[in-house]
Amino acid sequence: MTVLRQFRLEALLEQDFRLDAIKHAQAEMPREAVGLVVDGAYWPCKNIADAPQKHFVLDPHDYAGAMFAGTIEAIVHSHPEGTPPSECDRKACKQSKLPWYVYSVPDNLWSTIYP
């Protein structure tokens, strides 16, 4: 018996950006990594926060570059210590009017929050 499995292209693209985001998060340890999803692809950015192990501030030059490259669809960042999205994350997500994907590095788990 042949089993045919169907999947959405969006799910494949989502997986692709997540793999790149995980690599970025691992490379940035113990700092929080930050990036954007631009036209379905991961766009790594610099974290210019004063305390990058606890917070992120996305470099505005990186954000501007992403805007010129395509449509910014989401914000992505890592939690190196494995915490779930914070109240600060939730408030900033609402202000950004974009979905946020938060990767818990030690747990290898994703959370998604919406504005």
Quick check: is 59 in a domain?
A: yes
Q: Judge whether 25 lies within some domain.
A: yes
Domain that holds residue 43: 9-113
Torsional sign, CA 57, 63, 65, 66: positive
Q: Is residue 4 part of a domain?
A: no
In a domain, 78, yes or no: yes
Q: What is the pTM of this model?
A: 0.85
Instruction: Look at residue 75 and give its three-state secondary structure.
Output: strand
Q: Is residue 80, in this structure, part of any structural domain at all? A: yes
Rounded mean pLDDT of 95-102? 95
> How many domains does the chain divide into?
1
- What span, in angstroms and rounded, lies between the C-alpha atoms of 103 and 65? 23
Give tens-digit pLDDT for 40-96: 999 999 999 999 999 999 999 999 999 999 999 999 999 999 888 999 999 999 999
Tokens describing residue 101: 């994907």
Residue 4: pLDDT above 70? no
Q: Is the dihedral of CA 27, 79, 51, 38 positive or negative?
A: positive
Q: What is the CATH number of the domain that holds 15?
A: 3.40.140.10
Q: For residue 1, is it within any domain?
A: no
Residue 3 lies in a domain: no
